[in-house]
């Protein structure tokens, strides 16, 4: 017997759970302004998330998938993207999308049951939400194929969950990205739960990152509660994609600190003590401690930051709640570039229906 | 100008449109060097190069999924599935994404893609190579389903499908790929989508069919003419959206209708045509609408498949039934 191949999966972390620096910081993290910017974004996302859950509980929003505990994953990804890159989201991505120009009110509109939440009025190129789990990495590979055919120095970033990494489409996307050397970065936000099924039941693989190896490219595991590590590794992978047409898989290890969605009840399956242990690693407090330890942030500043975020969220909620529903004909009007004549009669039938009360 | 087969007409249309539109990308399993298992993409690699004519890894959902991604970037992928029976892994991508991207984004992103596949039985192929499940796609909002039945219509309808700004399922009757030849000028002229073609004008009965069943249907119309029965023959061509007006106008004239399809009977497209005639044209009818279809069975393997296919004789019998009724 001889060994014909060996593989490694690196793990990246800069700030550990006590907020101590455990590796030389990347260049951007030496700039306090950049870290403060990431911190403010994470606070905004957490504030928004709590408000969205409250809106759902009071009947003002539909089923909503919380992003609590995954702020570093999405804020870090959004911060690493270049404007000319394309982002292909799943559905907990407010932290990324708000840096792409998507308004908080648009995000609420989507979860409030309005297709215009996918219009992304100031973000023309990014993909809409993808609810069928794990299907969107293929779209990312297709977009990356277009970039490569046109010899554009652009990259595609896409994300799914640990559950999504079990889908066939996920493997098919990795496989073609390796085979065709596509400028795409696949992220798995490993929040440890696919509704009620734990990460340990998804796969016997030691890491999800190692799934890249079978597709012929590198995979890295990253501390997804460390926004510095997320920002750094996603940026490096995107750079590699743009410059060398090399794909990467990044497994961002984090934790889902909420039910799967507001329609779920995690107390049925999730041991409370695990969540308590995981909460000690959560990303917002981790960066705050680091900033405070380094005299870059004070309690007073933090209070003001939370107040400003709350005000921004309130404004978005008001805008969302004051958005009138779409006209009825919108049900038909985006099916085809031009609605075939045969549907005119059905459309007329629709228009004769009583217009529902506002909201 | 040499006459060409339906298969050659597909190649001719692809080559023509790739020549005028650099955004067209042909992709699929074995489509490049091998020219496809039926040779529908033969010669395209040499003409247009490996960037635009791409062999993919063997994964149908992937073929559909990356086509969607490419289409949103202004490319026009023409993806080949080797046989209709192998499309099913791609259904999630086709139904949940290709058909919905425009609607989901209120028109911000669109999906101008053509998914081509040979379909139908009668070529003595193994299991899964004989499917006619066009109704599945016809049931899906946001798709077009187009099925040619002659070299000229294959050429003109494929050009139209590629130029269409929305996703098209383009099903090619493999039984007719090399069956007959005709002169098809390579002039880039598309035929209209969303309309039926009246192939033969008649006064006694309307025969409605599509794809490979046009062969038996036209033969039956010939035989009926010799018996003094004048059949109008309609090739539906675009299965979705269905041009019911042309069918109704014909039934108003003839008062009788026989619908022929190879697909299983239950919930086949014939059921919908029949229902629409009942809803909107009942008073035109002198006799009940008849359907001559495949059975509600798995398509038998090669040795028995000819007994599955509706025959010319079955069509003639159905016409005789409606003629005798009134």
Contact with chain A for residue B74, Cβ under 8 A? yes
Strands B144-146 and B238-240, bridge-based pairing? antiparallel
* A256 classed as catalytic: yes
Mark yes or no for CB contact A149/B52 under 8 Å. yes
pLDDT average, residue stretch A321-335: 96
Q: Is residue A282 part of a domain?
A: yes
Q: Is residue A209 part of a domain?
A: yes
Q: Pick the residue of B62, B163, B239 with the most A CBs within 10 A to test the interface with A by mutation.
A: B62
Claim to verify: residue A332 and residue A281 sit in the same structural domain: no
Confidence of residue A357 (pLDDT cuts 50, 70, 90): low
DSSP states of A61-123 as a string? S-S----TT-HHHHHHHHHH--TTSEEE--SS-HHHHGGGT--HHHHHHHHTT-GGGGS-TT-
Residues of B in contact with A160 (CB under 8 A): none
Domain B197-325 has CATH 3.40.50.150: no
Q: Give the model's pLDDT for residue A358.
A: 55
* ipTM for the complex shown: 0.96
Claim to verify: residue A74 and residue A149 sit in the same structural domain: yes
Mark yes or no for CB contact B73/A334 under 8 Å. no
* Measured distance CA(A93)–CA(A131) in Å, rounded: 12
B102–chain A nearest CA distance, Å: 6
CA atoms within 13 A on the CB side of A206: 10
Q: Which of A115, A118, A139 sits opposite B68 (nearest CB)?
A: A139
Claim to verify: residue A296 and residue A192 sit in the same structural domain: yes
Residue A287 has pLDDT above 80, yes or no: yes
Q: Is residue A189 part of a domain?
A: yes
Contact with chain A for residue B165, Cβ under 8 A? yes
Contact with chain B for residue A115, Cβ under 8 A? yes
A46, A233, A256, A258: the active-site residue: A256
Cross-strand pairs, B234: B198, B208
* Measured distance CA(B193)–CA(B238) in Å, rounded: 6
* A11 classed as catalytic: no
Q: b/e per residue, B161-189, with b = 16+ CB within 10 A? A: bbbbebbbbbbbbbbbbebeeeebeeeee
Tell me the average pLDDT of chain A: 97
Confidence of residue A67 (pLDDT cuts 50, 70, 90): very high
Q: For residue B293, give the H/E element and its range.
A: strand B290-294
Number of independent structural domains in chain A: 2
Mark yes or no for CB contact B57/A179 under 8 Å. yes
How does pLDDT run across B72-89, given as a tens digit for each residue?
A: 999 999 999 999 999 999
Q: Give the model's pLDDT for residue A356.
A: 61
**Closest chain A CA to residue B164:** A337
How does pLDDT run across A149-191, given as a tens digit for each residue?
A: 999 999 999 999 999 999 999 999 999 999 999 999 999 999 9
**Closest chain B CA to residue A170:** B62
Q: Is residue A265 part of a domain?
A: no
Q: Which residues contact B280 (CB under 8 A, 6 or more apart)?
A: B244, B248
Residue A39 has pLDDT above 50, yes or no: yes
Q: Give the model's pLDDT for residue A318.
A: 98
Contact with chain A for residue B69, Cβ under 8 A? yes
Q: Give the model's pLDDT for residue B7.
A: 98
CATH superfamily of B4-182: Thiamin diphosphate (ThDP)-binding fold, Pyr/PP domains (3.40.50.970)
CATH number reported for the structural domain that contains residue A22 in this entry? 3.40.50.970
Q: Which of A124, A173, A335 sits opposite B62 (nearest CB)?
A: A173
CB A158 within 8 A of CB A128: no
Residue A354 has pLDDT above 80, yes or no: no
Domain holding A100, by residue range, is 11-260+273-323
Q: Where are the domains of chain B?
A: 4-182, 197-325
pLDDT above 70 covers what percent of chain A? 99
Contact with chain A for residue B34, Cβ under 8 A? no
Q: Which two tokens stand for residue B68?
A: 């969607």
Q: Give the model's pLDDT for residue A359.
A: 47
Q: Supply φ then ψ for residue B187, to 5 degrees.
A: -105, 5
Q: Is residue A82 part of a domain?
A: yes
Claim to verify: residue A183 and residue A168 sit in the same structural domain: yes
Q: How far is CA B82 from CA A107, A133, A145, B28, in A?
A: 40, 26, 21, 8
Q: Is residue A125 part of a domain?
A: yes
Mark yes or no for CB contact A138/B66 under 8 Å. yes
pLDDT average, residue stretch A216-226: 98
**Closest chain A CA to residue B165:** A337
Contact with chain B for residue A118, Cβ under 8 A? yes
Same fold, B4-182 and B197-325: yes
Mark yes or no for CB contact A141/B71 under 8 Å. no
Q: What is the pLDDT along chain B (326 residues), one digit of tens a residue?
A: 689 999 999 999 999 999 999 999 999 999 999 999 999 999 999 999 999 999 999 999 999 999 999 999 999 999 999 999 999 999 999 999 999 999 999 999 999 999 999 999 999 899 999 999 999 999 999 999 999 999 999 999 999 999 999 999 999 999 999 999 999 999 999 999 999 999 999 999 999 999 999 999 999 999 999 999 999 999 999 999 999 999 999 999 999 999 999 999 999 999 999 999 999 999 999 999 999 999 999 999 999 999 999 999 999 999 999 999 98
Q: Which of A135, A140, A149 sits opposite B51 (nearest CB)?
A: A149
């Amino acid at each position: 017997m001889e060994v014909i191949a060996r593989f490694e999966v690196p793990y990246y972390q800069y700030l550990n759970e006590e907020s101590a620096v455990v590796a030389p910081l990347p260049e951007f993290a030496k700039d306090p302004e950049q870290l403060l910017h990431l911190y403010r974004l994470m606070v905004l996302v957490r504030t928004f998330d709590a408000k969205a859950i409250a809106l759902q509980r009071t009947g003002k929003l539909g089923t909503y998938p919380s992003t609590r505990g995954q702020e570093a994953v999405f804020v870090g990804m959004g911060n690493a993207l270049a404007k000319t890159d394309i982002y292909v989201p799943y559905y907990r991505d407010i932290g990324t999308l708000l840096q792409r120009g998507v308004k908080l009110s648009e995000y609420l509109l989507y979860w409030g049951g309005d297709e215009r939440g996918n219009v992304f009025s100031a973000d023309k190129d990014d993909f809409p939400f993808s609810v069928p789990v794990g299907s969107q990495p293929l779209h990312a590979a297709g977009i990356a194929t277009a970039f490569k055919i046109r010899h554009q120095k652009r990259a595609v970033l896409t994300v799914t969950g640990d559950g999504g990494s079990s889908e066939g489409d996920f493997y098919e996307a990795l496989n073609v990205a390796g085979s065709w050397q596509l400028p795409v970065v696949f992220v798995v936000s490993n929040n440890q739960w696919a509704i009620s099924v734990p990460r340990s039941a998804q796969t016997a693989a030691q890491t999800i990152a190692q799934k890249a190896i079978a597709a012929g490219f590198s995979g890295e595991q990253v501390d997804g509660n460390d926004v510095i590590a997320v920002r750094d590794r996603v940026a490096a992978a995107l750079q590699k994609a743009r410059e060398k047409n090399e794909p990467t898989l990044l497994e961002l290890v984090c934790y889902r600190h909420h039910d799967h969605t507001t329609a779920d009840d995690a107390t049925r399956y999730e041991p409370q003590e695990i969540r308590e242990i995981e909460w000690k690693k959560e990303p917002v407090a981790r960066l705050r401690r680091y900033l405070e330890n380094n005299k870059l942030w004070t309690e007073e500043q933090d209070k003001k930051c939370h107040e400003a975020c709350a005000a921004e969220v309130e404004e978005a909620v008001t805008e969302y709640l004051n958005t009138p529903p779409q006209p009825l004909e919108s049900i038909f009007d985006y099916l085809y570039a031009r609605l075939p004549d045969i549907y005119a009669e059905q459309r007329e039938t629709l228009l004769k229906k009583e217009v529902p009360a506002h909201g | 100008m040499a006459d060409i087969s339906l298969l050659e007409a597909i190649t001719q249309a692809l080559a023509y449109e790739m020549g005028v539109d650099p955004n067209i990308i042909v992709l699929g399993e074995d489509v490049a060097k091998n020219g496809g298992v039926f040779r529908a993409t033969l010669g395209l690699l040499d003409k247009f190069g490996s960037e635009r004519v791409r062999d993919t890894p063997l994964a149908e959902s992937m073929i559909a999924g990356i086509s969607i991604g490419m289409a949103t970037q202004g490319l026009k992928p023409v993806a080949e599935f080797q046989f209709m029976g192998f499309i099913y892994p791609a259904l999630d991508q086709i139904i949940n994404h290709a058909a919905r991207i425009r609607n989901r984004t209120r028109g911000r992103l669109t999906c101008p893609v053509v998914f081509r596949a040979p379909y139908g039985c009668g070529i003595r192929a193994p299991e899964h190579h004989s499917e006619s499940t066009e109704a599945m796609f016809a049931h899906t909002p946001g798709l077009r389903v187009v099925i040619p039945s002659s070299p000229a219509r294959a050429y003109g309808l494929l050009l139209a499908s590629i130029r269409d700004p929305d996703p098209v399922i383009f099903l090619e009757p493999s039984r007719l790929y090399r069956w007959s030849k005709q002169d098809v000028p390579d002039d880039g002229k598309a035929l209209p989508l969303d309309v039926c073609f009246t192939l033969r004008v008649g006064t006694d009965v309307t025969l409605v069919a599509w794809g490979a069943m046009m062969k038996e249907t036209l033969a039956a119309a010939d035989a009926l003419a010799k018996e003094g029965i004048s059949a109008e023959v309609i090739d539906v061509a675009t299965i979705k959206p269905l041009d019911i007006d042309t069918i109704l106008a014909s039934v108003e004239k003839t008062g009788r209708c026989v619908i022929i399809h190879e697909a299983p009977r239950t919930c086949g497209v014939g059921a919908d045509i029949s229902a629409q005639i009942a809803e909107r044209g009942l008073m035109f009818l002198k006799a009940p609408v008849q359907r001559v279809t495949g059975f509600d069975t798995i398509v038998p393997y090669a040795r028995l498949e000819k007994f599955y296919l509706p025959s010319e004789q079955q069509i003639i019998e159905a016409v005789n039934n409606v003629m005798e009724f009134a």
